Structure formats: C-alpha cells, structure tokens
Structure 1
Amino acid sequence: METSSSSQREKSRAPLKEVVSECVKRWFKDTLKEAKAGDINMQVLVGQMYYSGYGVPRDAHLGRVWITRASRTRSSAWKVCEKPPGYNASDSDSDELKGES
C-alpha cells in the first residue's frame, strides 16, 4: 500500500535523464569559468566539450578556439582535442607508445 506522501514524492522526482543533463550543463559552466580564469587543463576540457557537444551544443569552431588557447602553453592539447571530455594528453601519449611497440 502506497502512502500519499510517497506517491507525491514519486510524482515530483525528475527523470534521471534530466538530472544528468542538468549536472553536465553545470559541469560545463563551472569548467568554462575556470578556463576563462586561465586554467590550461580546463581550457582543454572546454575545447573537448565543445567538440563533442557535451553539456553544450556542439561547436567545432569554439572547440578549436579553446584548444588553440590551451596549446599556447600545453603543446599536447591538439592530441586530445577531439577525444571525449576528460581524455588527457598523458592518456593519449601512452596510447601512442603502445602502438609503437
């Protein structure tokens, strides 16, 4: 038997897809703020997010802008520009080394 309060909670719960979508959008906004403040790793991440459309509409031009900005200090930024958000240069470098063996 369901009580009216638990029934109301079920009705007021947002679908998981919406919750995750909002979290991803918030992650993008937080990352963008840090990228604008000069954090190189966050600049790369923002570029990846724009390239993939993760938390923001896909925009290859803005992805290139952010990767270019990051590459001025971190030359490996271009290696990961079209990788999923969070894929970093050290991951990319180790993958390349595996292929050379």
Structure 2
Amino acid sequence: MEAVNRAVEGCERKPLSEVVGDCVQRWFQDAFKEARRGDTAMMVLVSQMYHSGYGVPKNEHKGRVWMERASRFRSSAWKVAMKRPGYNASDSDSDEADDDANQ
C-alpha cells in the first residue's frame, strides 16, 4: 500500500476536466479511424460528435457529410443526426413512441 502511495506522490495530478477532455478527444479519434474504415455506427457517432462539438471543434458541415455517408448504408441514420453522441437509432425509435403517446 505504501508503494502505491509513493507512486501516486511522484505523479503530477491533473484536474478532472482535463482528464475527461483528453478521454473525449481520444474517443473521437478512435471513432474517426473506424468511420474512415467504413464502420457505419462510427460514421453516425463521428457525425454526432462534429454536430455537437463533443471531442472536436463543432463543425455542422462535417457532421452533415459524415451523416450522409452513414445514411448510404443505414437509412435510419438521419433519425439521430441531431442527437447527442452515442444516441442510437433504436433509442430514437423508442423516443418517437413516447412522443406519439404524449400528443
């Protein structure tokens, strides 16, 4: 236990917001690599991240381009175009049922 405490003392502590920011950027980079390889789900995720500015500077044009690519393989992609990153088409379908019930 003392060895762990000494190891932690030698490390520079970073604010949590900085750590989370680094993680989000790495998530975008990983998703972008997979999207470029043709993974449709990652194309949707990259589009959502560009649209919202999550892990990357906000760029609605690039978000739209990635969503167009994804929609060539998955027509339901447009249902989640304006949703937060990670929101799936199946999630969107259940929201539509809730919206219909509320009207």
Tell me if TM exceeds 0.5.
yes
Q: Aligned partners of 2:67 and 2:31: how far apart in 1?
A: 14
Which residue identity lines up with residue 80 of structure 2 in the other structure? V
Q: Aligned partners of 1:60 and 1:10: how far apart in 2?
A: 43
How does the TM-score come out when normalised to structure 2? 0.86
- Report the aligned-residue RMSD: 1.7
How far has the Cα of 1:10 moved from its partner?
A: 8.0
Which residue identity lines up with residue 27 of structure 1 in the other structure? W
Q: Does 1:94 align with 2:94?
A: yes
Q: Aligned partners of 1:16 and 1:66: how far apart in 2?
A: 30
| Structure 1 runs not aligned, ≥5 long | none
Residue of structure 2 equivalent to 1:72:
72
- Per-residue deviation, residues 36-93 of structure 1 (Å, max 9, x unmatched): 0000000000000000000000000000000000000111111111110000100101
Q: Give identity over the alignment, percent.
A: 61
Q: Does 1:54 align with 2:54?
A: yes
**3-state DSSP of counterpart to 1:72:** helix
How does the TM-score come out when normalised to structure 1? 0.88
